[in-house]
Amino acid sequence: MLEQIIKERGIPALPNIDNTDEKREYMKRILAEEEYGLPVPKPEEVTYEVKELENANYMTGNATLEEVTVKGKLLGRDFSFPFKFVHPTDKKNQKVIVQINFRYDCPDKYTPAEEIIDRGYSLAVFYYNDITTDNNDFTNGIAGILFPDGERREGNATGKIMMWAWAASRVADYLETLDFVDMDKLGVAGHSRLGKTALVTAAYDDRFKFAHSNDSGCSGGAIHRNKRGETVEAITRNFPFWFCPNYKKYINNEGAMEFDQHWLVAASAPRFVEIGTAVEDVWADHESEYLTCVMASEEFEKQGVVGFVHPDRYPELHEHMKDGHISYYVRPGRHFFSRYDWNKFMDFIDLKIGDNK
Ligand code: GCU
């Protein structure tokens, strides 16, 4: 059944390149050129300022909340942004999730920090507007550094999603300096536009072993071709600044794309990617997200791991298909980053690292 659907929707194959590294580089290059814009370079210098915000009074007293300010130089200019880092006070071999969020609060309605800590995870959260604002203003934050003279963005110019993804990598730089963090278990998670960002983060930075994209839909987890809900036309009309200008070539012309969103997931192979979605989020389109998993699987298998284990039909509610390196589920309800979603992600990670306490 799925083969027929994939054929009818005209979803292209992954690039026909034998060498794994070359193939990944090729997918990253095309996605950057045509959709998200060029990746932001690494900073020349970075330092961290760590401040303890809460200890004995945080949660039940078993977690510590710190604020880490990342300061550095990028293309010769100063940048800085803070993130919150919550970890159990008795620092141990830690699995950490980096969350790219809509607010700087922790806990937050999208961040059930206490449940996350209780499951043995640490959490690093940053606020995406602290990197650069979520609008067409390219004069602030990292955007202001990349486009210093307010120059017009053209062609493959970096979009905001790529800038937020860059910041997640800067958080990973810090985590790498801590001996109690286990980098083999590092995850990244985000919801909606920030779920798109989580996928981009993992595709471009292989220090992230697990990615969770929540309700990310168009330009995130969902195949473009014949997608329900949001399309390239709608997303580039409302949010052109998330992408590079080249992406507009595909307005009402998705069939002309050499790629589709399974390339983005395949660029994270052979690591672990989860696409979580909600049945009432028609704008995101959970079936098109499912097809992304189906189509990305081949690359994981080529690299010698189990890809996406799924039946030959569309998913049913609550089914958590997590036997391979790609995980997918569709839950009831709407567009929201819920406890249900977090638990699915942590179940997936625990299963893969053999930590089923
Ligand atoms: C809009 C947008 C989506 C995006 C969502 C969000 O609905 O059209 O693409 O995922 O906002 O980020 O909340």
Percent helix, strand and coil across the chain, each rounded to 5? 35, 20, 45
Q: What separation in Å is there between the alpha carbon of 260 and the centre of ligand 1?
A: 18
Query: How much is the mean pLDDT over the chain?
Result: 96
**Residue 152: pLDDT above 90?**
no
Phi/psi-derived region of residue 13, left when phi > 0, alpha when psi is between -120 and 50, beta in every other case: beta
pLDDT, tens digit (0-9, with 9 covering 90-100), for 256-314? 999 999 999 999 999 999 999 999 999 999 999 999 999 999 999 999 999 999 999 99
Site to substitute for ligand 1 among 100, 109, 110, 192, most atoms within 8 A of C-beta: 192
Res. 56: pLDDT tops 90: no
Binding pocket residue ranges, ligand 1, CB within 6 Å: 192-193, 217-218, 230, 235, 238, 283
- 3-state DSSP assignment of residue 29: helix
Reported as a pLDDT band with limits 50, 70 and 90, residue 356 is low
pLDDT tens-digit map of 26-51: 999 999 999 999 999 999 999 999 99
Confidence of residue 55 (pLDDT cuts 50, 70, 90): confident
Please identify, by atom number, the ligand 1 atom nearest to the C-alpha of residue 230: 8
Compute the distance from residue 213 Cα to the ligand 1 centre, in Å.
13
Q: What proportion of the chain, given as a percentage, has pLDDT over 90?
A: 94
Query: Could you tell me which residues come within 8 angstroms of residue 180 by beta carbon, excluding any fewer than 6 positions away?
Result: 87, 91, 92, 93, 94
Buried b vs exposed e over 224-243: b needs ≥16 C-beta within 10 Å?
A: bbbbeebbbeebbeebbbbb
Exposure string over 248-284, b if 16+ CB within 10 A, otherwise e: eebeeebeebebbbbbbbbbbbbbbbbbbbbbebebb
